Amino acid sequence: MTNLVETVSVRMAYPFSEGILTLYEQGVSLMVGNGDFVAVLGGSGWGKSTLVNVILGLERPTGGTVYFRGEDVTTSSFVKRCGLVRTSAVFQRPTALPQLTVGQNLHLALSLAGISKRERNDRVKEGLGFFGMDGLERAYPDSLSAGQRRRIDLARALAIKPQLLVVDEPTGDLDTSAENIVLPLLRGLNRDYQISVLITTALPRCASIAKRMLRLKPPSITAPVNKTVGL
């Protein structure tokens, strides 16, 4: 059966003043199948968020290929990829629009996903209910805590009923009590809704909730090659 997402030997190189920073020197090869739960584990600055961006089509890799349902999408946009695999992404930074209420944010996301107006109300209620945010539909994102904002993003992602949910650092900025809420919820999404989940984390404890784990290696820095001019 075709995987939802597959990366083959993906590499990234960032030139900077002291040389070239190379992420995933050996190349990252990763597969996410239907109903899968994969965790990408790596330290700070090892390219976890970059890998998320590459998978979502927000950054182009220096080498390697990204497939969505077996189709090469390395140079395609996020929207094109969503057409192949209905994908929701929750980034490290909260993305809710500050001028809209929680409910309006979810409605907007659903409207952009092409969900009919009639269905939206039910989905918003379901999404917020799943993450224990029932009473906060009329609240503004900036008035909420970091943990609640993370759950809004997750509720928005769930409301779309994605086939693939990509969560960058699900416990970033969260205290232990919030972590203890978010992690089981992610496991519940995967188990109860059969949503394939891909998370990135620096904490082995968080990665342990996944069915499979991919460990990234630290990046390497190579000095720039000096061009010598002959006499």
Pure H helices in 16-136: 48-56, 78-84, 102-112, 117-130
Spatial contact of 54 and 12, defined as CB atoms under 8 Å apart: yes
Does the protein bind other proteins through residue 113 (CB under 8 A)? yes
202 forms part of the interface with other proteins (CB under 8 A): no
Quick check: 146 binds other proteins (CB under 8 A)?
A: no
Kindly give the pairing relationship between strand 37-41 and strand 212-215. Answer: parallel
Q: Which amino acid is at 37?
A: F
Return the number of the residue (49 or 190) whose C-beta is nearest other proteins.
Answer: 49
Bridging pattern class, strands 37-41 and 196-201: parallel
- Indicate whether 108 belongs to the interface with other proteins (CB under 8 A): yes
Using the rule CB under 8 A, is 58 a contact of other proteins? yes
Tell me how far, at minimum, the Cβ of 57 lies from other proteins, in Å.
9
Longest dimension (CA), the chain: 77
HSE, CB side, 13 Å, CA atoms: give it for residue 189.
Answer: 36
50 binds other proteins, rule: CB under 8 A: yes
Binding region for other proteins (CB under 8 A) out of 68-76, 83-91, 125-133, 205-213:
83-91
**Span from 17-25, 77-85, 127-135, 212-220 in contact with other proteins (CB under 8 A):** 77-85
- Cα separation, 146 vs 47, in Å, equals 23
* 203: contact with other proteins by CB under 8 A: no
| DSSP code per residue over 201-217 | ES-HHHHTTSSEEEE--
Please identify, among the stretches 27-35, 45-53, 213-221, 223-231, the one whose residues bind other proteins according to the rule CB under 8 A. 45-53
**Residue ranges that bind other proteins, judged by CB under 8 A:** 49-50, 52-53, 58-59, 77-79, 82, 88-89, 91-93, 95-98, 105, 108-109, 112-113, 156, 160, 168-169, 172-173
